Amino acid sequence: MTKFQRIGPLFTDLYELTMAAAYYDRNLFSNATFSLYIRKYPPNRNYFVAAGLENALDELENFHFSEKEIAYLNETGLFSDDFISYLKQLRFSGDVYAMPEGTIFFENEPVLEVTAPIIEAQIIETFLLNTIGFQTMIASKAARCMTAAQGRPLVDFSLRRTQGQDAGIKVARSTYLTGFAATSNVLAGKIYDIPISGTMAHSFISAFNNEIDAFSAFSKTFPKNSVFLIDTYDTLEGARNTAKAAKEMKKRGEVPIGVRLDSGDMAELSQKVRKILDDAGLFDVKIFASSGFDEFKMADVITNGAKIDAFGVGTKMGVSADAPYFDIVYKMVRFNDRDVRKLSPGKITLAGKKQVFRKSDERGRYIEDTIGLRNEIIDGNELMLKKVMANGKTVVPHPSLQDIRDTFKTNFESYKLIDEHTAYPVKISSRLMELQGKV
Amino acid sequence: MTKFQRIGPLFTDLYELTMAAAYYDRNLFSNATFSLYIRKYPPNRNYFVAAGLENALDELENFHFSEKEIAYLNETGLFSDDFISYLKQLRFSGDVYAMPEGTIFFENEPVLEVTAPIIEAQIIETFLLNTIGFQTMIASKAARCMTAAQGRPLVDFSLRRTQGQDAGIKVARSTYLTGFAATSNVLAGKIYDIPISGTMAHSFISAFNNEIDAFSAFSKTFPKNSVFLIDTYDTLEGARNTAKAAKEMKKRGEVPIGVRLDSGDMAELSQKVRKILDDAGLFDVKIFASSGFDEFKMADVITNGAKIDAFGVGTKMGVSADAPYFDIVYKMVRFNDRDVRKLSPGKITLAGKKQVFRKSDERGRYIEDTIGLRNEIIDGNELMLKKVMANGKTVVPHPSLQDIRDTFKTNFESYKLIDEHTAYPVKISSRLMELQGKV
């Protein structure tokens, strides 16, 4: 399996194709520039983590209509033969500027800009919004979880309740990108070479006559990787049964890695479980916890003195439950030789090709961003949008997921050095403002 | 393209496979029964709409590990050669009882039960939860939108912001199932033979020197299918420009189908736009509206006298924004000859193979459900769980999407005849209760 399965150009809203047909009939083939950005922070967010670019560029580079896709469009009866012939040979030939995956960015900042013949730029809208939008949303949520965990390892447990199959796979990638230690998702492990993690569920315990038999059976198959789930009947009794099972394992020169709590008052239970384990000399047996964890619940149990060494983070992170969609848009800002914008109430756009400039201080802390014109020069600032595709071809090889993970870590430190609870300052350059008056 | 692409058995949590390995080592191959149900109503829900079964059965019927999947499992170093050999020949050989797609159901009612050798039943857990859970969540949200629209046609506009690619495609299917008229999603149209709908975006308007030129250009390409987007600059001016464009079209014997509003105060604007259109003699030109619609916003604008003929329903429906996950679980209720349950705080399960019995009155209204034992007989009740798979093979051909849509419509009427704002009564049978005391 390739890393990203082709989804194809029919993954689009019909209006992209009807507009394309009308452009075609009017001979409108000039370049358009579209800007992809998030209009407003959703609840509980004051930064975003760029993700999804590799998937996006992969699809653009292979953009074409297959025979079956063409046949379907023909069947709809909506399109002329000329236009269908035109689609048959269509490839994506445009330029893309984008923030690399793992970049921290802010509301209204373009995270990606496309310049291409208007038909090409239009048809890819839906795909780009979906791809960059979803993965960015999850990476942004996952980064918050990393902060809340205060250095404790996190494992993605979300697969069973993500919104569909693609979501499950992309969540594993987006969380690993932000520093998660592993995922329970075996398929994502295979596709992206992410460490996989997991041991047993309640059903496993129920399949044996008692808890100790279940622990014992598991430890024989996985002598080096046993984490016992201890809350099926009674968590503290489960901890005592762990001590008994560990005694048996010790005779074979083995030791369980840990126990997992999955219900109840986690702060209190974890303290009591820690004591039971320590009293049995099991100081190295870790306490894992799962069940409804997100950044809020982790912060809460840690504040309440939980003795938890690692968290399984599932559903609420995997669907970004407190902000399950972002107001992400893809707006035309230039067509032919004309900068354009729209004025609909609450949906005003800024005209013109853009660049995002970031100023850091001598310690590397991010201080301030400026959204400016693409061709502006603002001394001493980093250019956040890089040219990643020219004439439909990627300009440089995409970094590995491991490299993206490292980049994110560095970026996140630079961001967190400022007071992350205040709004990060983002200015509009005077030249960009002037342009708006002229459009 | 087949209707459902194989995702394969690696779409699972690692613990399903580690448990399987331990079962294998202990020679545990007996049948287990697992029950799939939603533990509690999420916010704003008091019924669910079953969806996703066709996809689920399709995958189970084709369940196998490919060579590459086996190779990956081997590489992890977690599993013995014997167990890997066992997986190579593994197929799904179990029985499945399920509520047909389009069935209305309630909290704690099993929507699906699997009985299979424990390893098979265990490995498919994650896939079944994801597949049935997501599609049911969206169908349940979409049904609420259908109610709110009071007969007005709805179009799924969610693709750009669904949580990933698979979600986008499944949302189109789940919404069509509940009675949506169409989707903007071209790929879903192709895969599921759903009507597709869409005309133009703001960028199209911006690509022309003025709004009338844009309308005019579009109408020449789509003389029979023109819906003009009228809020790019000023909605009322857009309505007047529609009248002008319509005058030109009339000379060619054509007429626009409608206009679309996408921002502002929809109740007020729609009334004013209706007046402008009517004054121009355009009584048959429909008013479509989009932008942030869900059941709440539709109810609100309709109450406020909106003159809207059809709605585009997007993001908030497509991610089930007010309830972006359901507490759906898959719990072992019987293993070998023993009924089992778990007692974790807040997560108690009911042991035993089950059936859901539904009583209707002489008018066909649903009156009351009873969760009972699979082999119970409760006279005059409908058995809601049907045998859909035996020994790994589907028992009857799956109904077409159109048939499911018809079935849902009938079911939904039977449900809505009761007071849908009160909790629907669901009892536990005395025999099922007795069993719990014995486990």
A-B contacts at Cβ under 8 angstroms: 323
Q: How far apart are CA B26 and CA A216, in angstroms?
A: 11
Chain B contacts of A262, Cβ < 8 Å? 344
Q: Which helix (H) or strand (E) holds B421?
A: none
Cα diameter, chain A = 82
Query: Which pLDDT band, with edges at 50, 70 and 90, does A422 fall under?
Result: confident
Q: How far apart are CA A99 and CA A386, in angstroms?
A: 6
Q: Is B163's Cβ below 8 Å from some Cβ in A?
A: yes
Chain A contacts of B187, Cβ < 8 Å? 7-8, 10-12
Q: Is A391's Cβ below 8 Å from some Cβ in B?
A: no
Give the number of other CB atoms < 10 A from CB of residue B185.
34
Q: How far apart are CA B323 and CA B45, in angstroms?
A: 9
Q: Is A21's Cβ below 8 Å from some Cβ in B?
A: yes
Q: How far apart are CA A391 and CA A173, in angstroms?
A: 28
What are the strands, taking DSSP E only, across B141-203? 154-156, 182-183
What CATH class has A149-318? alpha beta
Give the number of other CB atoms < 10 A from CB of residue B251.
7
Record: fold of B198-318: TIM Barrel (3.20.20)
Q: Is A103's Cβ below 8 Å from some Cβ in B?
A: no
Closest CA in chain B for residue A119: B204
Per-residue model confidence (pLDDT) at position B95: 98
User: Which residues are paired to A261 by β-bridges?
Assistant: A289
Record: fold of B14-139+323-438: nicotinate phosphoribosyltransferase (3.20.140)
pTM more than 0.80:
yes
Phi-psi region of A164 (alpha: psi -120 to 50; beta: other; left: phi over 0): left
Per-residue model confidence (pLDDT) at position A332: 95
Distance from the first to the final alpha carbon of chain B: 48
Of A13, A22, A342, the CB nearest to B185: A13
At A434, list the tokens: 């002037």
Chain A contacts of B325, Cβ < 8 Å? 161, 315-316, 319, 321
What number is the ipTM of this complex?
A: 0.97
Q: How far apart are CA A258 and CA A219, in angstroms?
A: 11
Q: How far apart are CA A279 and CA A286, in angstroms?
A: 14
Write out the DSSP string of B19-86. HHHHHHHTT---EEEEEEEE-S--TT-S-EE---HHHHHHHHHT----HHHHHHHHHHT-S-HHHHHH
User: Which residues are paired to B173 by β-bridges?
Assistant: none
The answer on pLDDT for A1 being more than 60 is: no
Residue in A4, A15, A266 to test binding to B, most B beta-carbons within 10 Å: A15
Instruction: Give the residue among A23, A158, A11 at the shortest CA–CA distance from A72.
Output: A11
By DSSP bridging, strand B310-313 and strand A258-261 are unpaired
Per-residue model confidence (pLDDT) at position A123: 98
Place of tokens 């394309």: A20
According to CATH, where is 3.20.20.70 located in chain B?
198-318
According to CATH, where is 3.20.140.10 located in chain A?
14-139+323-438
What are the strands, taking DSSP E only, across A39-91? 48-49
CB-count exposure of residue B267 (10 Å: 0-12, 13-18, 19+): middle
Chain B nearest-CA distance from A361, in A, is 36
Of B168, B186, B340, the CB nearest to A17: B186
By DSSP bridging, strand A258-261 and strand A286-289 are parallel
Chain A nearest-CA distance from B321, in A, is 6
The answer on pLDDT for A347 being more than 70 is: no
Q: How far apart are CA A197 and CA B119, in angstroms?
A: 19
Of B8, B10, B162, the CB nearest to A130: B162
Please identify among residues 231-270 of chain B the ones whose CB lies closer than 8 Å to any CB of chain A. Answer: 231-234, 262-264
Scored b (16 or more CB within 10 A) or e, A93-118 reads bbbbbbbbbbbbbbbbbbbbbbbbbb
Write out the DSSP string of B330-357. EEEEEETTEE-----TT-----S-EEEE
Least confident segment among A125-134, A198-207, A344-353: A344-353
Distance of CA B358 to the CA centre of its chain: 22
> What is the mean pLDDT, run by run of 10 residues, along chain B of 439 residues?
85 98 97 97 95 98 98 97 98 98 97 98 98 98 97 98 98 98 98 96 94 96 95 96 96 96 97 98 97 97 98 98 98 93 71 96 92 96 98 96 98 80 89 89
Chain B nearest-CA distance from A20, in A, is 9
Per-residue model confidence (pLDDT) at position B342: 66
Could you tell me if B195 and B189 are in contact, meaning their C-beta atoms sit under 8 angstroms apart?
yes
Please identify among residues 322-351 of chain A the ones whose CB lies closer than 8 Å to any CB of chain B. Answer: 324-326, 328, 331-332, 335, 340-347
Q: Do B343 and A234 touch (CB under 8 A)?
A: yes
Distance from the first to the final alpha carbon of chain A: 48
Cα diameter, chain B = 82
Chain A contacts of B331, Cβ < 8 Å? 202-203
CA dihedral B8, B12, B14, B17 (to 10 degrees): -60
Q: How far apart are CA B335 and CA B31, in angstroms?
A: 6
Per-residue model confidence (pLDDT) at position B1: 41
Percent of chain A residues past pLDDT 90, beyond the cut? 92
Of A19, A131, A163, the CB nearest to B167: A163
Write out the DSSP string of A285-310. -EEEE-SS--HHHHHHHHHTT---SE
Instruction: Give the residue among A228, A224, A219, A225 at the shortest CA–CA distance from A201.
Output: A228
From residue A336, alpha-carbon distances to A382, B68, B370 in Å are 28, 48, 66
Could you tell me if B50 and B111 are in contact, meaning their C-beta atoms sit under 8 angstroms apart?
yes
Q: Do A203 and B326 touch (CB under 8 A)?
A: no
Q: How far apart are CA B199 and CA B366, in angstroms?
A: 41
Could you tell me if B176 and B401 are in contact, meaning their C-beta atoms sit under 8 angstroms apart?
yes
Residue A38, classed as helix, strand or coil, is strand
Q: How many residues does chain B have?
A: 439
Q: Rounded to 5 degrees, what angle do the CA atoms B13, B14, B19 make?
A: 110
